[in-house]
Amino acid sequence: MLRKFRIVAAAMCFVLITLLFLDFTGTLHAWFGWLAKIQFLPAILALNVGVVLVLVALTLLCGRIYCSVICPLGVMQDIFSYFAGKRKKNRFSYSPAKHWLRYGVLAIFIATLAAGFGAIALLVAPYSAFGRIAHNLLAPLWGWGNNLLAWVAERIDSYAFYSTEVWIGSWATFAVAVATLIVVGYLAWRSGRTYCNTICPVGTVLGFLSRFSLLKPVIDTEKCIDCKRCARNCKASCIDVENHTIDYSRCVVCFDCIDNCSKGAISYTLRCKGTTKSTDAKCNADAPADNSRKNFLIGTALLATSAVKAQEMKVDGGYATIIDKEAPNRKQPLTPPGSWSARNMAAHCTGCQLCVTVCPTDVLRPSAELSTFMQPTMSYERGYCRPECNKCSEVCPTGAIKPISLAEKSSIRIGHAVWKQKNCIVITDDVDCGNCERHCPSSAITMVPMDENNPRSRKIPTINKHRCIGCGACENLCPARPFSAIYVKGFSEHRTL
Amino acid sequence: MEKKRYNNIGRGEFLARLGAGSALTVAALAGCKPSTAKFDPYAVDDEDVPTDKMEYRTNPRTGDKVSILGYGCMRWPMRKGDDGRDELDQEKINELVDYAIAHGVNYFDTSPVYCQGKSEQVTGIALSRHARDKFLIATKMSNFSNYSRENSILMYNRSFEMLQVDTIDYYLLHNIGSDIRSFEARFIDNGILDFLIEERAKGKIRNLGWSFHGSKEVFDHILAYHDKVHWDFIQIQMNYSDWHNARGRNVNAEYLYAELEKRNIPVVIMEPLLGGRLSNVPNHISARLQQQEPERSVASWAFRFVGSYPMVLTALSGMTYEEHLQDNIRTYAPFEPLSEEDKKFLFETAELMLQYPTIPCNDCKYCMPCPYGLDIPAILLHYNKCVNEGNLSRSSQDENFRKARRAFLVGYDRAVEKERQADRCVGCKQCNEHCPQRIDIPRQLRRIDKYIEDLKQGREF
């Protein structure tokens, strides 16, 4: 009964969280966005004391329910393990805890976070690891499925589906997601919850707490016939039948053993034991952003857009070639409005890719730089930060991007535009333009005659830096290719108008 | 006068005209009202498209029997090539040409610049499979970008090669009329008009004429050359919408036609359907037309209109699909001219259409390629489609605003690649001089872009 309840709850959480990473329209977040916000590490990074206390209390009361129900990476491992179990029954056996490994990894994790290499530490963080897998591996499938429906809809004159661009923002992050899936999947396939009980920092912290939990599965030595069926089916390998003990630091309270025991020797009961003391998990990193910008991997992938050969003579029809835009090398990377500073972003972001998933214009993509690896960064080759959108700030579970209203957003300056004369088509093609001025949402650009003495000379843009919010409309819509003639320089600390 | 008005016939007769006796029984049993019946122009497919009833007009000078339906070779079907790019579908084009000739169409109109410069070649290939006396070929001197004598003659000679013919039946000075200076630069100063007159004397060109888009003054000026040059035919934009209400830089067709009739010059009609704008119309316009003639297509009205003028030699239609071809053949084989009353009805319809703020783009693609990559006709056509379908909101308070907004925005991304949309227009105005309809393209694109921004940002308007 308990087991069935656990499975249903876990399945619901898992499906909904996965959908959060698939739903590019961002509508699901209004309903189930909280599922991301109750994740342990994001809640700690967001300094969300309420959620952390509830999770700690839940663990002290019931054990690691979090690991078997709420954590999507945990449930994903159960799915792998379930299918492996179909092939080979009774495949587990008790093994002693590897304390040195667990606490060692946790110590390194905290140390790395504190030292400002959060991006590296977060490779093993469970929620964001799952996010990267879902965003990089499942979201493209979802997108293609949607595009197929959109294709059908278009042919029956329906506007129910619109097509979306499937785009891998960073191949480096994609590679990390694949590697994570392979490692975690392999471990789960072979030996159940090994990852959770040796590597996962959240598992270690909660495991430490669950040793003192109020409710636990307990073996009744009177009834137990030492058949080891429970141990052979324990994915955490934590049931020591010989001594009739269970390692509660590793037990994820899946209730499999209770259902497996034909003698009813295991029960989930109240057993007060020792003192329960609240432990404060010190994962709060206020890591200073490391500004040594070393490209870890240049992984920005651009899907080839159609290129059409130039015409030889003026004939009717056809398209001019569009050269894809290239990202300029921004000394100070752009972070989205609501993140307030590069430091805040580096300190709070777990790199889960939720913001990247919902960004409708492909402005956000995972960073390929070492110090901010997998954390979102902005660039404007594919679109710009639209005035009617604040989705990333709505979905962020960690407080790396804090919630802001559209009105607030329109006054947050994340950077400012700079004009590059040598690229501007007014100079290079000798034509009128002014597309930057026309599309500037904060009227920060004014076109002025190149020759101050000749009001009829071609006009070039001037920028009032104090009015510019850095949204990138000018950069994105600039006709100069592959490098725009106007681009946005980021601020390390955001300002307001 | 024979009345064919739905208002004037009994219900039984009406249903009988719908065709099937069984339908009558079913409808009668179901108590179905005739006014709710749906009219589908292609529902009469069981009826063969006639092969021997085409209307022909005689060219008074050469005696040519010209089919009133002319094939415009500007809109040939495309397909995806092996390299993923669009290319002309030669196989399909051959089929269309075969079908047209088999059903009596014999006038084919092309130009060196159509279809990205490929039209003459593919048309030539398709026609070379037929006997030379089965078709009349028309092509043009399209020396827009480089009008040196040398280049123009090169273009002229190339047409023979591409079309695989020794004589060109109808040769036109392409798209003149915007201003006298450019006409003189293209044809007078370089001696090209004299050259073409000589070629006509040699029999290489059988009929010499010109196609016109522009102002009345220039029309009169060039028409005045008639005494000297002797124009064999002239091609004008004529349809029931342009008769009284020509838009942009076009002159009312009523005036143009009258001037040509006065001089007894045969008239070739282009844009009888305004690039489809007289066929793809708002619902109540199509209902209004079909109410009059339930079995005829909306497009048929436009073709019958131009055919009803006796000086019209042929009406060009750029038929991309076989269905277009079949529909037009049915209209003209046999041909039934409009009565004065019918014409009046069409002029009233044109007035009603004018209330719809469509942009007069006929999708001729002369503006393309835009140097900054925009897909200008696709943007304008999407806008017109939304206007006609009632998806252009006048106010954000409109009752169907949400639905219209979604249709506009989702449809926009479907119709036009993101990087080729209106927000990319730099306003260089290089397109404007190419537009035969004199649309101020950058201005229109800016207007559309602003509308889209209003929709996207949820502004009140």
Domain coordinates of chain B in residue numbers? 14-353, 376-457
**CATH topology assigned to domain A326-496:** Alpha-Beta Plaits (3.30.70)
Taking the Cβ of residue B84 and every Cβ of chain A, the question of whether any pair is shorter than 8 Å is answered with yes
pLDDT score, position A11: 95
Please give the angle made by the CA atoms of A275, A276 and A277, to the nearest 5 degrees.
110
For the segment A90-138, what is each residue's pLDDT rounded down to a tens digit? 889 999 888 899 999 999 999 988 887 777 788 899 999 999 999 999 9
ipTM computed for the complex: 0.77
pLDDT band at A377 (very low <50, low <70, confident <90, very high): very high
- Cβ of B425 within 8 Å of Cβ of A435? The answer is yes
pLDDT score, position B5: 43
Residue A251, helix vs strand vs coil:
coil
Cα–Cα distance, B286 to A431 (Å, whole number):
44
Residue A300 has pLDDT above 60, yes or no: no
pTM of the predicted model, to two decimals? 0.75
Nearest CA in chain B to A439: B423
For the segment B97-111, what is each residue's pLDDT rounded down to a tens digit? 999 999 999 999 999
Query: Out of A276-285, B94-103, B170-179, which region has the weakest mean confidence (pLDDT)?
Result: A276-285
Those residues whose C-beta lies under 8 Å from the C-beta of residue A366, and which sit 6 or more positions away, are: A169, A170, A172, A173, A351, A353, A356, A373, A374, A375, A376, A377
- Cβ of A322 within 8 Å of Cβ of B420? The answer is yes
Residue B295 has pLDDT above 60, yes or no: yes
Cα–Cα distance, B12 to B8 (Å, whole number):
12
Q: How far apart are the first and last CA of chain A?
A: 58
Domain B14-353 has what CATH class?
alpha beta
Q: How far apart are the first and last CA of chain B?
A: 51
The number of angstroms, rounded, from the C-alpha of B15 to the middle of its chain's C-alpha atoms is: 33
Q: Which residue has the higher pLDDT, A292 or A215?
A: A215
Amino acid symbol at B2: E
Cα–Cα distance, B278 to B242 (Å, whole number):
11
**For residue A434, which residues of chain B lie inside 8 Å, CB to CB?**
426-427
The closest CB to that of A316, out of B113, B370, B373, belongs to B113
**Kind and range of the H or E element at A417?**
strand A412-419
Residue B270 has pLDDT above 90, yes or no: yes
Report the residue of B283, B361, B372, B416 to disrupt the A interface, i.e. the one with the largest count of A CBs within 10 Å. B372
pLDDT score, position A307: 33
pLDDT score, position B45: 54
**Which residue in this structure is represented by tokens 């013919």?**
B165
**Region A238-252 average pLDDT:** 92
For the segment A425-466, what is each residue's pLDDT rounded down to a tens digit? 999 999 999 999 999 999 999 999 999 899 899 999 999 999
Residue A82 has pLDDT above 60, yes or no: yes
pLDDT score, position B293: 87
Query: Out of A390-394, B26-30, B184-188, B392-396, which region has the weakest mean confidence (pLDDT)?
Result: B26-30
Cα–Cα distance, A304 to A294 (Å, whole number):
26
What six digits make up the tokens of B114?
Answer: 């159509």
- Cβ of A317 within 8 Å of Cβ of B372? The answer is no
Instruction: Please count the other Cβ atoms lying within 10 Å of the Cβ belonging to residue B25.
Output: 11
- Cβ of B372 within 8 Å of Cβ of A479? The answer is yes
Comparing CA positions, the residue from A464, A456, A461, A468 lying closest to residue A484 is A461
The residues facing B237 across adjacent strands are B270
Cα–Cα distance, A129 to A132 (Å, whole number):
5
Length, in residues, of chain A:
497
Residue B415, helix vs strand vs coil:
helix
For the segment B178-201, what is each residue's pLDDT rounded down to a tens digit? 889 999 999 999 999 999 999 999
In angstroms, the Cα distances linking A426 to A321, A460, B120, B376, B434 are: 19, 7, 37, 21, 22
Q: Enumerate the CATH 3.30.70.20 domain ranges in chain A, comma separated.
A: 326-496
B78-80 and B86-88 as β-strands: parallel, antiparallel, unpaired? Answer: antiparallel
Residue A17 has pLDDT above 60, yes or no: yes
**Region A165-191 average pLDDT:** 92
Taking the Cβ of residue B77 and every Cβ of chain A, the question of whether any pair is shorter than 8 Å is answered with no
For the segment A382-399, what is each residue's pLDDT rounded down to a tens digit? 999 999 999 999 999 999
Residue A278 has pLDDT above 70, yes or no: no
Comparing CA positions, the residue from B110, B123, B105, B111 lying closest to residue B53 is B105
Cα–Cα distance, A356 to A364 (Å, whole number):
5
The closest CB to that of B85, out of A154, A308, A320, belongs to A308
**Region A300-320 average pLDDT:** 51
Cβ–Cβ < 8 Å for B408, B386: yes
- Cβ of B369 within 8 Å of Cβ of A319? The answer is yes
- Cβ of B113 within 8 Å of Cβ of A308? The answer is no
